[in-house]
């Protein structure tokens, strides 16, 4: 088992020392915020942004390739932190990173979509890997529905909706929100005052498809998504 973070890193100087030992060839920039320390380590076209939260005593790490964030990790394990950062900045592929550190398994598909230039697949895979706002089960189910999979998902204030194109300024719904315990609300109205009906993930997907038809949201044809 890796050694606990709280035993080793307690101030900005400590964080810098750890990073310089792990990444001797990297350029390090340090910042201090209320309750947190951050550091960005850059080496070539790769970088890692680390946040150390004092009260939680954990690392929050973002792994970046050519300015695109491909992976996120939260850990209290110093070995996992230093090992994965050194491996990534050293040029490892996503598969090599996942082979060494299983926490990164979800991000292999993210990296593949990024390298292929597939914006639609990239955003779906990123949403699946992050599972933010309690929407993980719904996203997994939505990715199996062709009508939704051809649309671009986005989130706003805990709600998820869809666009017909990544840069579209208009969206008509539906809006989905996690309610907890694997239940979700689906509505055609943005930020409703109340929710009277909830669904499991599979039901929520079916209701979304019905709402798309009701609202007249066009469906891109297969293969029409812009890279």
Query: How would DSSP label each residue in 11-33?
Result: SHHHHHHHHHHH-TT-EEEEEEE
| Nearest alpha-carbon partner for 150 in 112, 116, 127, 119 | 119
Give residue 6's pLDDT. 45
28 with 41: CB under 8 angstroms?
yes
Give residue 223's pLDDT. 54
Report field, pTM of the whole predicted structure over 0.85: no
Q: What does the pLDDT look like over 174-206, one tens digit per residue?
A: 999 999 999 999 988 776 777 778 999 999 999
CA dihedral 27, 122, 77, 43 (to 10 degrees): -10
Minimum mean pLDDT range among 4-13, 121-130, 178-187, 215-224: 4-13
- Residue 11: how many other CB atoms lie within 10 Å: 12
Q: Is the pLDDT of residue 124 over 90?
A: yes
């Amino acid at each position: 088992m890796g050694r606990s973070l709280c035993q080793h890193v307690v101030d900005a100087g400590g964080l810098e020392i750890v990073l310089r030992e792990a990444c001797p060839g990297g350029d390090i920039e340090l910042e201090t915020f209320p309750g947190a320390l951050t550091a960005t380590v850059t080496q070539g076209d790769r970088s890692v942004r680390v946040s150390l939260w004092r009260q939680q005593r954990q690392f929050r790490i973002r792994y970046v390739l050519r300015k695109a964030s491909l992976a996120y990790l939260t850990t209290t394990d110093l070995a996992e932190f230093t090992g994965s950062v050194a491996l990534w900045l050293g040029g490892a592929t996503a598969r090599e990173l996942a082979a060494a550190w299983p926490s990164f398994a979800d991000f292999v598909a993210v990296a593949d979509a990024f390298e292929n230039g597939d914006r639609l697949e990239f955003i779906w895979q990123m949403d699946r890997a992050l599972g933010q706002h309690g929407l993980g089960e719904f996203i997994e189910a939505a990715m199996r529905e062709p009508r939704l999979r051809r649309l671009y998902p986005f989130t706003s204030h805990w709600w998820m909706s869809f666009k017909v194109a990544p840069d579209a300024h208009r969206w008509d719904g539906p809006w989905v929100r996690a309610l907890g315990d694997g239940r979700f609300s689906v509505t055609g109205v943005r930020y409703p005052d109340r929710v009277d009906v909830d669904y499991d993930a599979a039901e929520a997907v079916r209701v979304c498809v019905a709402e798309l038809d009701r609202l007249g949201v066009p469906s891109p044809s297969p293969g029409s998504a812009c890279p």
